[in-house]
Structure 1
């Protein structure tokens, strides 16, 4: 179905090719997980499948890429529209209509699908992805996760033979991610669709993959069954695999179910050993919010929420897509809608201050970080951040190098990968180091190493007296970083307590290690390793 023959891709002004001499043969009905560090070339590999690389992105492609017998050198990307469905990292950037139903039908209209067939496929896709209640909603009013499901649905309606997904579950809550992956695997098993899926949250996908394509970042592509690739060297791996490496299990487990079968001996070794403690936050209040209400027309996104943040506290804000997490963050920051309620940060309400002064009290990294980038180079963005924050020159750049090393100063922010762009915005906001920092989906597009670095930075900020709120669906990041978890549903707070108490008792929000070693309250591989040494 997909053939890569000696494919090398190099972009203008780049010192080294992103892909070098890649040979691949991907058959019909295979689910391939594409993994690797941020900026290693995953999006380039996916873009080469339908000719977006190099016809749209620029650069030079040597070698040959064929899909269903069509050569990307002689066929333009539009000629692959009926064969290859592509969902990018930023769903909103790909929308061309106003409502959900219109977006699902648009691609079929361009392919001249009969009206009766279009209606049937729209209904099937709405049910398949669980978004029937959204059919008439404006796309811009949806949460990030809801937008992502619509984006996937908009390409599924065309019934492509190849489906290319770039971070398809990054903005989805765990339950919604499982639903989307179940739909994708159904397409693979029942209809023979070939799927290439780039995903940093490998713990969600690897157990379903037939093959794994791992890009270490030096132009190569390691190809093979997931167990072989993950066992073959210093490859980024999900927690269940890291736990298997620590315990010496062979073959390595790919799922919680596989690991639980071998866990009794490990649980016996851990019996009676104390779980490492986490630093306690201070008693002083960093932010106090009372009776916060956010409305969008008839929709109440946040319902009379009270929230107290303490100095030195890292709080994870969790809940399904559309539960009100982002709306609450914007209300706390002061620039979002707030129909009712008060926010107090050191005696002041950010909503009553000029924007620049409000940012000094409460910093916010939104779900779409590119909204905060407006200069022509990475160096200019970093220098501006240092000036606005009255920080020592080079502070922002140093933070960026910790999160995503190796980004060229001269690169335009729009030419960065999604993960690199997020790392840049995180560095800009972290440079200001306000008393309260709000991060909305801060790990989206980040690999495991970058998330570990972000966790270190967040922990350091908390130790220095800052309060940090992480609105996220990344249960593994929460398990290793947050001291407290607040769960929202339909605008209400339905759970609030220490991380270990909230996530271990939740089937949806429990990390892999907690599921494997249940009922013992272990959260991360690092905790297990520390207890065993």
Structure 2
């Protein structure tokens, strides 16, 4: 269905091609997973299938990409719309109408499909994706999972043979991600749709893939094959694969269920050991880094937060978890003064954020938002770093050193818009961390990050917590919470429904339990690192 013939893509001024030596085939009716470190060209490869590369992105495409026999060099995206449906990382950026039903119909109107056919296809798509009860809902009122299903539906009504998705679950809570993946499986199994998707959170999707394509690094030819074979050698792999490698399981399991079937001997070896206690948080002296009491926040007539009580001490890392739309981001934005409380009190470093000038508030708290572009204004990475050093009164080179720690290979001359989603996030994080505020807030900090970049982020945040910085992060990444958080706070419908030590809260919630906890239950292990350390001690 999709054929790449010696494909390479180069951009003017780039040190190396964004893609090189791509020569492979994606068969009809398969779910093909595209993996690789941040910035290796996954989004570029997806763009060559839809025709966005090079027709809209520029650059030079060499070789040949054909989709159902159509050459994407000679067919612009509009001329491929009936064959290829594309869903990007941010569905909201692609919506052009106000309601679900209108959005499903819009693409067909653009293609000139007769009204009777449009009506029938809208009804079919509503049923296929479980959206019939939402047909009249404004898109702005939908949850993340619902929006993603609408985005998929808006391209499915054109009956494309190929569906291309870029990070389809990166912004979704675990339940919403399962919802979207179930839809993709149904499209592949029941309708024979070819699905090509790029995803960093492999723990969610790798077990559903028919084929995995690994982009190892800049200039390196891709490796394609059966998921277990590629994962055995891949530098990016989910915890279940890391645990399988550690335990010497063959073939490598790709799902929790398969791993549990092999895990009995490992559980026996680990039975005498006890996971190490999480590093204690130093006792707080005086006022906490942040305190919230009886907090209520409204967005118009909607209650976003209700009667929230939360205190965060210096040196403590707190993970906020919950469904999309539960109120996590609202709480973070309230802590930086972007929302005024309808009731209750908020104190950060002894001041009320909504009554404090932003420049003064920078000395107390910094927020890395979900969309890092909100913080980036300069023309190059070097200029962003220099501005961050000046704003924070930091020594020149402070911000650049942080960028190098998180993403070692980003050139100074690169424009932030040319960075991948994960690279932009790392740059925005470095900008905020340059000021070293006592309270650091992060909204979905691992969105777009590969496992290596996430591991570096964990080390940076651990170091900051060890120096006494309080960290609050809103995340759907259960593996990050298990690795990093002292406490986990679960929010539902604007209220806190659980607040306690990470090892207690995440294990007691099937939706938020990490893979290792599910595989080794009832033993209280959370991470591959804990298991590796225990096995080393056993061997010594």
User: Normalization by structure 2: what TM-score?
Assistant: 0.95
SS at match of 2:510: coil
Cα distance in 1 for residues equivalent to 2:97 and 2:437: 38
Is 1:104 aligned with 2:107?
no
* Structure 1 spans left out of the alignment, 5+ residues: none
Cα distance in 1 for residues equivalent to 2:137 and 2:112: 25
Residues 375, 428 of structure 2: 8 Å contact kept? yes
SS at match of 1:508: helix
Q: Equivalent residues in 2 for 1:76-475 (5 A)?
A: 76-126=76-126, 128-129=128-129, 135-140=135-140, 146-219=146-219, 220-231=221-232, 233-284=233-284, 285-475=288-478
**Distance apart, 1:467 and its partner CA:** 0.9
Deviations 1:250-304 (A, max 9, x none): 0100000110001010000000202122111133211111111121222211111
Which residue does the alignment assign to 1:502?
505
**Distance apart, 1:218 and its partner CA:** 2.9
Which residue does the alignment assign to 1:493?
496
**Distance apart, 1:136 and its partner CA:** 4.7
Deviations 1:43-73 (A, max 9, x none): 1110011221111111111111100110112
SS at match of 1:102: helix
Say which is worse superposed, 433-442 or 151-160, in terms of deviation. 151-160
Residues 65, 71 of structure 2: 8 Å contact kept? yes
What is the aligned-residue RMSD (CA, Å)? 1.7
Structure 1 residue ranges (4+ consecutive) displaced by more than 6 angstroms after TM superposition: none
Which residue does the alignment assign to 1:476?
479
Cα distance in 1 for residues equivalent to 2:455 and 2:217: 18
Cα distance in 1 for residues equivalent to 2:202 and 2:172: 14
Which residue does the alignment assign to 1:60?
60
Deviations 1:353-411 (A, max 9, x none): 11121232121111111111111111111111111111111111111111112111111
Residues 340, 354 of structure 2: 8 Å contact kept? no
Cα distance in 1 for residues equivalent to 2:345 and 2:266: 49
**Distance apart, 1:42 and its partner CA:** 0.3
Say which is worse superposed, 141-150 or 45-54, in terms of deviation. 141-150
Change (3 A) 1:210 1:156: same
SS at match of 1:3: strand
Residues 290, 304 of structure 1: 8 Å contact kept? yes
Is 1:529 aligned with 2:529?
no
* Structure 2 spans left out of the alignment, 5+ residues: none
SS at match of 2:196: strand
**Distance apart, 1:134 and its partner CA:** 5.3
Cα distance in 2 for residues equivalent to 1:423 and 1:243: 27
Residues 32, 210 of structure 1: 8 Å contact kept? yes
Cα distance in 2 for residues equivalent to 1:199 and 1:434: 32
Is 1:514 aligned with 2:517?
yes
Change (3 A) 1:37 1:276: same
Q: How many residues align?
A: 532
**Distance apart, 1:120 and its partner CA:** 4.5
**Distance apart, 1:336 and its partner CA:** 2.4
SS at match of 2:172: coil
Residues 51, 72 of structure 1: 8 Å contact kept? yes
Residues 145, 177 of structure 2: 8 Å contact kept? no
Residues 350, 361 of structure 1: 8 Å contact kept? no
Residues 314, 468 of structure 1: 8 Å contact kept? yes
Residues 330, 337 of structure 1: 8 Å contact kept? no
Change (3 A) 1:135 1:326: farther
Which residue does the alignment assign to 1:4?
4
Residues 148, 171 of structure 1: 8 Å contact kept? no
Is 1:40 aligned with 2:40?
yes
Cα distance in 2 for residues equivalent to 1:500 and 1:175: 20
Say which is worse superposed, 384-393 or 117-126, in terms of deviation. 117-126
Residues 144, 176 of structure 2: 8 Å contact kept? no
Cα distance in 1 for residues equivalent to 2:415 and 2:383: 9
Residues 35, 198 of structure 2: 8 Å contact kept? yes
Residues 295, 301 of structure 1: 8 Å contact kept? yes
Cα distance in 2 for residues equivalent to 1:37 and 1:427: 19
SS at match of 2:512: coil
Say which is worse superposed, 131-140 or 221-230, in terms of deviation. 131-140
Residues 7, 19 of structure 1: 8 Å contact kept? yes
**Distance apart, 1:416 and its partner CA:** 1.1
